[in-house]
Every structure is written in structure tokens, then in C-alpha cells.
Amino acid sequence: MINVEMLSTGDEVLHGQIVDTNAAWLADLFFSQGLPLVRRNTVGDSLESLVAILRERSEHADVLIVNGGLGPTGDDLSALAAATAKGEALVLHEAWLQQMERYFSDRGRVMAPSNRKQAEIPASAELIDNPVGTACGFAIQLNRCLIFFTPGVPSEFKVMVEQQILPRLRQRFTLPEPPICLRLTTFGRSESDLAQHLDGLALPPGVTMGYRSSMPIIELKLTGPASERDAMLALWPEVKKVAGESLIFEGTEGLAAQIAGALNARSLSLTLSEQFTSGLIALQLGRENAPLLASEVVPSQEETLAQTARWTAERRENRFAGLALAVSGLEQDHLNFALSTPDGTHALRVAFSTTRYSLAVRQEVCAMMALNMLRRWLNNGPVAAEHGWITVVEDLYLP
Amino acid sequence: MINVEMLSTGDEVLHGQIVDTNAAWLADLFFSQGLPLVRRNTVGDSLESLVAILRERSEHADVLIVNGGLGPTGDDLSALAAATAKGEALVLHEAWLQQMERYFSDRGRVMAPSNRKQAEIPASAELIDNPVGTACGFAIQLNRCLIFFTPGVPSEFKVMVEQQILPRLRQRFTLPEPPICLRLTTFGRSESDLAQHLDGLALPPGVTMGYRSSMPIIELKLTGPASERDAMLALWPEVKKVAGESLIFEGTEGLAAQIAGALNARSLSLTLSEQFTSGLIALQLGRENAPLLASEVVPSQEETLAQTARWTAERRENRFAGLALAVSGLEQDHLNFALSTPDGTHALRVAFSTTRYSLAVRQEVCAMMALNMLRRWLNNGPVAAEHGWITVVEDLYLP
């Protein structure tokens, strides 16, 4: 088992002005490739800290992925730290300097003198190509550890990891078989409620049940070695039974993508009317290429459930839409949800106990409630089931 | 200077299924309080790793904030790791158990037996109250280090840090004066372009210029000790001059909040028509309580700039709106932006060189372009200035 670690660098990351999405992306990718990280570390733009942590981790890790600090500015210190830790000089990589100059001239720009620094790497380093930017990566061997230095710009980082670093790791090490990971996502249940029911399941050896709670959803994840695949598949229906009505999708597709796919497959167009969610449902479905007709975003106002249902039915007719979906009402009170379909209009008045969350999270909850009604109708189920912390206070059906 | 570190725990965080927003939040808060973190660390749900890293960091840090692993499930191991590292037993904290039972009964629920574990803390630990959840925090002294254990649920973590941990740190240590941090945000420029122009500025001692690049914006941040306040304020106009047309706001208010404030202050209502951005502008302004009238989200279609301008002007009239803002067109081509105002309608056709970014980022770019037109009009400036990577290919004014 090779011991892989990551080091994120930069004052902006260390001090939290940037959320470290590169680390999450890398960790997730490596996990799925059978290379789970054993530790992640973050330090700032200090040469002393960088040199110290490179030396420290190089005594423990077989592979260290360092991210950030390869830019053109004075606080970009990774190459200098690598050279210092290794006890060697930085040298100008002429071929990369030419490539950078080409990169700028291809875009009709002149390279700033400050960019020249980006072609300087430690004397013993192997250059790692960056096909989409001016920061080259590089690799050095320090103590037991093979260290890769990568740029902080997410698009450049990702291409370099996928196209340059993973192939080198596959060549150098025999990678273990990737783990099996079965996932499902629930909506409307609490983690302790799910855990109470799942703790009784007997897990095969080496298999773990993980909970990823990210309001308003909880993802359940059964992870284990490839050798336990059959046992895990046999156990999976039990997990789904515990999730019950709260299960909204399996795998990693996401609710909006699943619905967009179903609407497109059935040639069903949709029009939206959003109060409170303020365009969030349109945005989520729009990003998945759902067949949306013109939609509206309206300020919140008090409506009876009968009004919401009737206006949604009218909207479906007036817009010549297959389906119309609406969220309405003042949040202090309960919110109304209506789905108008060729079989009639289903409407629900719902209470959520989510007041302690931010507005953005409460909007996510309502968008998911609305999308879930649509999902349930598309699956020929009743549009609502009360469960967990979702309370239906009134429902209505207009034929 | 006290040496503060953070340890994030949990397989979901380590393996990137969760983006570690708690770490960013804590780091940012502590930085602003004059307690910059010197290092962050992440390990998974392994008792061995947890015990080892607690022992390791307790030799280096004065204060360590540990986050996660206090839940009721089997993979929640932080209390056990703390007791093991300290060489003592876990003991049931009777008072906390009673508080947990009250927490559930107040909500009309029965506590699951698995929750009982959340009242077990190391024998020598000081309990840290959690006013909003069932996971209590606790603190132990290990070697030179005061270690605080906190729950992973963001809302519980934040309340505990603000109400319990910071006051204890202020009591125990003499905290340094918080640093001065001057910020501005640019839109449409590249980091190397900005850096080239800013690298020539002479910075006062101990003052650094930071760049936070998060497409489509770059934040410039001048950070230094409180003693350099006057020198930093004297330098700041130079920084703003370099940002020039690309400066969209100072401080941390955000563009949408700034615009919402200006619209409300001037009693100007706004109606939106969004193609391509698919509701994102409505969502951004809605979250800041902007005075939005009914808006529309429409599928992308090819329009001439004259059509976009005319339809936006009509929309303003038909809706009795103070202002109407529109994004339209097919992205493969250029996008049209129009702002209809009491002084007439301003329209721009714009090209962005952003094709290598994800759809979500390209939508963010267009939403910001539209909001920036609105900001410039509100500030009595021309609605557009071409700069950096924003190219205006056509413009139009309807009186």
C-alpha cells in the first residue's frame, strides 16, 4: 500500500479566504483510483514553513502532491522551497520559457517579465507539462518521497493530475484494485435516525458504512475492497430499505440531472414559478439541460394552497407546458408546492424545521422538496410522503 | 505569538466527499482575530492515525482545534482518540446525558441509544457546551498543547467556536492586535497582469499583497500589522489605480449586496430576463433582498443586439419597473446584455475568452458582467468599459 499525502500551500488557503476545493477533488479522485490519501496538510506562503514541511512529510509519505505557489508573484515560493529542501539551485528551463512565450504570443499578448520565474525549477527536477497554462509542474525525489508540484488554478491542476501525474504513478507503482463504493442519497432524514437503523446491519470484513451529511441531504456510502463486491451487493437492498421514502437517488448523478434525463426521455417540457427559491430550481435544472420553457421568479407573497394549485394549473395550460412546478408563499408561514401534470394538479403545504440554517440552505431545502415531488411523479409514485423532518400540513388535488 | 493549528478529521473530509468549509471558516475567523493558523492537518476515521497525529501536533502547537468525529456512529472516534492519546478512560458525563435527553424530549422525540456515546469524554477533559446540538465539545491539555474537540456539523461548530472557544482563548492568552486587511475585488483582469503592475509598489515593512483568484474575480488584499495602518492607507489609492476599471467593490460586501443596497436606497425596482444565466442573477440579487419584481428565465435563443435592447425596454415599461436587466443569446456566439433605465436603454454584445471553464463558471462570469453594468450605471458611469479579457464587440443606445 503506497502512502500518499497532499500538501496545500498558500496564505489564502491556510487563512480560509479560499475554500480548498482542489484538495477535495484530488482526494476523491485518488480514493476512486485505489490510492486513498492518508493525510492532508496545509501551510502558508512562508519559505521556512514550506521547506520544513517538505522535509518532514518526505520522511513519511511515498508520494506527496503539493498544490499552489507556482504563480508569477512574489508570494509564490514552491519552486524555491523545493530547491532549498533538496539543497540545490533553481535553474531556468529554456524549453518551458519558450513554450510560455508561445502561449502568450498565440493569444496575441506579450509575456510579462514576472512570468519568467515560472520556468525556474530545481536542478534535479523532472518537468511536468501544463497543456493549459503557464505554470509548469515538476517532480523531485526527496528522501523516501516522490513529490509532485502542481499549480493552484483548478483547471490547470486537474489536467496535470489526470494527464501527467496519475500515469506516472501507474508506471512507477503497482496500484491496488480500486475499492467498491455503493452510494445513495437521502432527503429529509437525520443522521442519527439513519444510523440507529443501519448500525444493526452486519457488514462484511473491511466494509464500512459512511455518512456524508450536507444539509439538506445525507449520502450513505458503503465502501469496501473489491473482494467483497458480492457481499456488498447482497447487503445493499437492506440499506435501501432503511432509507425508504427518503431515498432520492442512487450513485452520484444528482437529483436535477436525474430529472432532466427523465423529462428529456419522455419529451415532457416544464415551466417553473419560483417564490422564495428565487431562481434556484431554474438554475439547477438549466445546468443539466432540462427542457425548460419560460419560467418566472416572483417575490414571495401569501397564497392559499388552492390559489397556488389553480395558478400552477393555469400556468401549465397558458405556456403549453407538459408540466408546471411552483414554490410559493412566505417562509415565516409554511410554503406551498404545486405540480401540475396531464393527470391533474398535486399541491402540498409543507413545514420544515430548518429555521436555524442560512437562507441559502433553506432555499436548497425547498428546491429539493420541489424537485422531489417531480421525481416521485415521474416514477409514478404519490408526490409526497411525510418522513423525517418534512411535515405536510395540507394537501390538495385538482383533477 | 501563540501557535494555533487545526486538525480536520473524518474519511469524508480526507477523501474529498466533503469540501472542508469548516476549516476555511475557522481559519478566516482566527486570522481576523489576530490568531493566524500556522498549519492545518487532515486525517481519516482511523483510531491509530488520530492518536498519532494528536500526539505529534501536541508537541508543536499551543492550541489545536480538532473538528469532527463527535457523532453517534461507529466511525466517530475523536473522544476515544483523545482519551487514548492522553492515556486515560472515557467517562460518562451525567449532566450532558441529561441535557441530551432534554434536547430530544423538547422536540417530542426519544433519544436513540446510540446517542448516549456522545456524553462520554476523557476523564480529565473540560466539557464545552453545545447550545444547538447533541454533540458536546471538550478540551484537554496534552503536552504543550490545549486541544479543543468540536462537532463537524457546521452550525454547531460555529456557535461553539464563537461562544465557547474564543472567549477561553482570550482568557488564557494575551492575543495580539488583529492585522489590518484592505481588500478590493476586480473583474475581467488576469492575476499576472495585475501582479505585473503591482509588483513595483514599495510595501511598508511586514505588509504583503495577496491575490485570491476565484474565476471570474480576483481579490487583492493588502495585509499588515496594525502599526502600519497609516502607511497602508496611504498606499491603498495606488492599488486602486492599478485595478482601474476592473475594480468592482472594496471590502467584502460583494457585488450583489452592494447593488441591492443601492437599489433599495434609491427605491428603484428591477425586473430581470435571463437566458444562459438561467436564474443565477435572480438568485444572487434575491438572496440580498434586492427589490426584484417578477422576472423571467428563458431558454437561450439567438437575438440581435437591437432586439435585446428593444425587448428589455418594453419589459421595463410593461412591468412598471424602475430598471430592466437582460442577458440573452446563444453562448457559442457572443452574449447580449441590456440595461433599460429611465435615461434610456444601454446594450452590449460581449465576447469572453472563458470557454475552458465549466458551465457554472461561465454563468458566473455572465451574471457578474450584467451586475457590473448595473453597478456602473448606478454610479453614474458608462455601463461598459472594455478591459482585460472582456471584449465588447458591439454597443447600442436607445434613448
Residues 172-201 of B with CB under 8 A from A: 191-193, 195-196, 199
pLDDT in tens, B9-22: 999 899 998 889 99
d(CA A384, CA A393): 11
Provide the pairing of β-strand A63-67 with A4-9.
parallel
Taking 90 as the threshold, does the pLDDT of residue B200 lie above it?
no
Contact A14 B39 (CB under 8 A): yes
Asked if B198 and B238 count as a contact pair (C-beta separation under 8 A), the reply is no
Phi, psi for residue A275 in degrees, rounded to 5: -105, 165
Asked if B122 and B86 count as a contact pair (C-beta separation under 8 A), the reply is yes
pLDDT of residue A358: 85
Q: Which grid cell is B177?
A: 492586535
DSSP state of A36: -
B40 close to A (CB below 8 A): yes
Place of cell 450605471: B377
Question: Which residues from chain B sit within 8 angstroms of residue A41, using beta carbons?
Answer: 39-42
pLDDT of residue A325: 98
d(CA B36, CA B189): 29
Contact B210 A11 (CB under 8 A): yes
Taking 80 as the threshold, does the pLDDT of residue B132 lie above it?
yes
d(CA B238, CA B226): 20
Domains within chain A, CATH numbers bracketed: 4-172 (3.40.980.10), 180-250 (3.30.70.2860), 257-398 (3.90.950.20)
Contact B43 A38 (CB under 8 A): yes
B236 close to A (CB below 8 A): no
pTM score = 0.85
- Mutating which of B4, B14, B106, B242 best tests the A interface, going by the most A Cβ atoms within 10 A? B14
Computed over its alpha carbons, how large is the radius of gyration of chain A?
A: 26
Question: Which residues from chain B sit within 8 angstroms of residue A280, using beta carbons?
Answer: 279, 283
* CA distance to partner chain A, nearest, from residue B120 (Å): 16
pLDDT of residue B191: 82
Q: How many CB pairs under 8 A join A and B?
A: 246
d(CA A57, CA A9): 14
Read off the pLDDT of each residue in B221-229 and give the average, rounded to a whole number: 93
Which one, of B251, B252, B268, lies nearest residue B260 by Cα? B268
Which one, of A165, A157, A75, A86, lies nearest residue A121 by Cα? A86
Contact A112 B195 (CB under 8 A): yes
DSSP state of A104: H
DSSP state of A292: B
Read off the pLDDT of each residue in B349-378 and give the average, rounded to a whole number: 90
B23 close to A (CB below 8 A): yes
Residues 288-317 of B with CB under 8 A from A: 292-299
In chain A, the N- to C-terminal Cα span, in Å, equals 62
d(CA A36, CA A28): 8
Farthest CA pair distance, chain A: 79
Question: Which residues from chain B sit within 8 angstroms of residue A360, using beta carbons?
Answer: 287
A16 close to B (CB below 8 A): yes
Chain B: residue whose CA lies nearest to A52: B39
B16 close to A (CB below 8 A): yes
Read off the pLDDT of each residue in B345-373 and give the average, rounded to a whole number: 90
pLDDT along chain A (399 residues), means of 10: 95 90 95 93 97 98 97 90 98 95 88 89 97 93 98 94 96 89 92 85 91 86 93 97 93 95 97 97 97 96 96 96 95 88 96 81 94 95 79 93
B279 Rama sector, left if φ>0, alpha if ψ -120 to 50, beta otherwise: left
Calculate the alpha carbon distances from A332 to A355, A370, B50, B155, B329 in Å: 9, 18, 43, 20, 38
DSSP state of B165: I
Chain A: residue whose CA lies nearest to B52: A39
pLDDT of residue B118: 93
* CA distance to partner chain B, nearest, from residue A151 (Å): 12
* CA distance to partner chain B, nearest, from residue A72 (Å): 6
Read off the pLDDT of each residue in B75-102 and give the average, rounded to a whole number: 95
Question: Which residues from chain A sit within 8 angstroms of residue B73, using beta carbons?
Answer: 191, 195, 199, 209, 211
Computed over its alpha carbons, how large is the radius of gyration of chain B?
A: 26
Contact A14 B21 (CB under 8 A): no
Average pLDDT of the residues of chain B: 93
